[in-house]
Amino acid sequence: MKKLLSIAAVMFFLWSCGGKQKADLIIHNATVYTVNDDFTVATAFAVKDGKFVGVGSDEEILKDFESDETINLEGAPVYPGLIDAHAHFYRYGLGLKNADLVGTKSFDEILEILQAHREKYPDDEWIVGRGWDQNDWENKEFPSKEKLDKLFPDVPVFLSRVDGHAALANSAAMSQSEIFGKTKEVTGGKIYFDQNGEPTGLLVDNAMDLIGKYIPEQTRADQIEALIMAQQNCFEVGLTGVVDAGLEVSTIELIDSLNKSGELKMRLYAMVAPSEESIDYFKKKGKIKTDYLNVRSFKVYGDGALGSRGANLLSDYSDDPGNAGFLLEKESTYDELAKVIYDMGFQMNTHCIGDRTDRVILDIYGKYLPEDNDLRWKIEHAQVVSKEDVPKFGKYNIIPSVQPTHATSDMYWAAERLGEERVKTAYAFKDLLDQNGYIALGSDFPVEDINPMYGFHAAVARQDAENWPEGGWQAENKLSREEALRGMTIWAAYSNFEENEKGSIEVGKFADFIFTQKDMMKAPESELRNLKITATYLNGKKVY
C-alpha cells in the first residue's frame, strides 16, 4: 500500500509540473555562442548545481526545464567565460598597491607619479613601481638613477619595466647589495654602467634579482587581499579562468586554502616556478586538481624581452650591432630540466621571445616528445620564430601560447629591433595556428592590460586603441573572430587539459558564462576594444 502511494505521489508531481526538470537558472531568448565543435549558436540553456544541464532552442529548454530564476535576454549575446591563457594573476594583485607607471610619456612624468605615491604611502620601506616603457618616450634611451637619487636619497626605489625583464633602481636600493662593487657581469642578465664605470641603476633579467630579493615580503594578509582584488577585477572584465605563469609552492598552498574556504573562486591553472624545492615537492605530491585549481606544469624562462633587448636572437639586433641578447640559462640546463619534467609527467611551458630561444627550446622539446603525443607542452609568447622552425610546433604537437596585444604594443618599434625582413616572422599567430589547428590566447597581464577585449581586438584587427594602422599590422596574421574566441575559451582550456569541463557552453560543463553589451562576433572592429561586459557568471551564479 505504501509503495502504491509513493508511486502515486511521484506521478502527481510529474503531472503537476508537466514532467519538467527543476533547474537553478534558465537563460532564454539569447544569442548563445556555445563554442562547441560546430560553433553552434543556441538561444537558451539551463543550469543545475553549477553545471549546464540543457542547451538548445527556447522551445526545447522551456519545454524540458523550469526554474524560479528565468532570464529573458531579449536577444543579447552570451559566451563561455573567458580564459586568459598566460597571465600573472598573483603578481598583478600584489602590484595594485604599487606605483602604476603604465602609459607614462616621459621619465619626468614617472617622477611626479612617484612623489604622489610616496605621499599616499609615506611609511613604506620601499617605493616599488611597474610599467615604464622607454619606447613610449620622446627620448627612447634607457633611464638612469640620478633623478631618483636626488628625489629619494634615503628610500630604496625599484621600478620594473612594462615587460618585467628590466628595472631601474636608485642608489639606496643598490646599497642593499654589496655585489655592485664586485662584479660587472651576471649570467643571464646585464648591469648597465656609465662611462666612469659606475652602475646606472638599469638592470636586465637575472641582474634584477640582485636587488629584488631585498624588497620586503608581503604579509599573509596582504597576499590574501591581493588575490581577492585580482579576482574581482578579472570577473569585471569577463575572465572566469586564468593561467598564472610561475608561482612558488607557498603561493599555491595559499590559493588552495582560499579555494577551500570559499574566499577565492577564480579558476586558476598554476604553472610552478621550477626551483629544486618545488620540483622535489611535486615529485612527492604529484599533480593537484580541484574545480578551482589545477597544478601540473612548470614555467621556465628561456630569455628576456624584445623591448629591453634581452630576447635571444639568431643574429644581432638591427638597432644594436654586437648584441644578440642571451639565454637565461645554459642550453644543457634546459635539456636537463626537460627530462625531469617529462619523467614527472608534467607539462613544460617555456618563455621564448627571440628566434634563437625558440629554436633551442623547440629542439629540446623534440628530443623528449614523441611526434604523436598528448603532453601539450607549450611555447609561451613565441614572438619571433624563424620560418624553418614554425613546422616543429606541428611535428611535436607543441601549443603556441601567445598574447595578441604584444603585437600591437610592439609594432611601433619591432622593425627597428629586428629589421624589415626578420620582423615578418614575428607575432605570426595565423602561421602558428595552422600547425596544429589551435592556439591559446592570453594577455600576460600586468605586462599588458587585464581586459581580454583588448586582446580580441588585437587578434582580429591587428590595430591599437586608435584603430591604427588601417587594415592592420602584418594583416596576414590576423585571426578570424571565431578563431580568436576559441583561443580565449576552448583552446585555452585545451592547453590546460580542461576542455572537458570548461571553455564552451555544453551539457556537463561548469556554468561559467558572460553577457556583453554588444555582440563581439558582429560589432564593428573599431568597437571591439571597448566592448563592455555586462555580467559574469561562475557556476551559474552572478559574480559581476
In this prediction, residue 278 has a pLDDT band, given cuts at 50, 70 and 90, of: very high
Closest CA to 379 of 444, 471, 300: 300
What are the start-end ranges of the E strands in 373-465?
A: 378-381, 399-402, 440-441
- Cβ atoms 164, 447 nearer than 8 A: yes
Q: Which residue ranges does the chain devote to CATH 3.20.20.140?
A: 220-542
Helix (H, G, I), strand (E, B) or coil at 537: strand
Mean pLDDT of 313-317: 98
Q: How far apart (Å, rounded) are the C-alpha atoms in residues 47 and 309? A: 50
Cell of 495: 592547453
DSSP 179: G
Q: What are phi and psi of 283, to 5 degrees?
A: -65, -40
Q: Tell me how far CA of residue 279 lies from CA of 244, 271, 346, in angstroms.
A: 17, 12, 10
- Cβ atoms 241, 512 nearer than 8 A: yes
Tens of pLDDT, residues 23-65: 999 999 999 999 999 999 999 999 999 999 999 999 999 999 9
Given this model, what pLDDT does residue 181 score?
64
Given this model, what pLDDT does residue 18 score?
57
Q: Which homologous superfamily does the CATH classification assign to the domain defined by 220-542?
A: Metal-dependent hydrolases (3.20.20.140)
- Cβ atoms 169, 155 nearer than 8 A: no
CB-neighbour burial class of residue 505 (10 A; exposed 0-12, middle 13-18, buried 19+): buried
Strand partners, 203: 167, 191
The length of the chain in residues reads 544
Tens of pLDDT, residues 211-256: 988 999 889 999 999 999 999 999 999 999 999 999 999 999 999 9
Strand partners, 46: 26, 54
Tens of pLDDT, residues 451-495: 999 999 999 999 999 999 999 999 999 999 999 999 999 999 999
Q: Tell me the fold of 126-213.
A: Diaminopimelate Epimerase; Chain A, domain 1 (3.10.310)
Q: Which residue ranges does the chain devote to CATH 3.10.310.70?
A: 126-213
Given this model, what pLDDT does residue 382 score?
98
Q: Tell me how far CA of residue 102 lies from CA of 59, 160, 233, 355, 496, in angstroms.
A: 50, 10, 17, 27, 30
**From its phi and psi, is residue 282 left (phi > 0), alpha (psi between -120 and 50) or beta?**
alpha
Burial per residue of 267-302, b for 16 or more beta-carbon CB atoms within 10 angstroms, e otherwise: bbbbbbbbeeebbeebeeeeebeeebbbbbbbbbbb
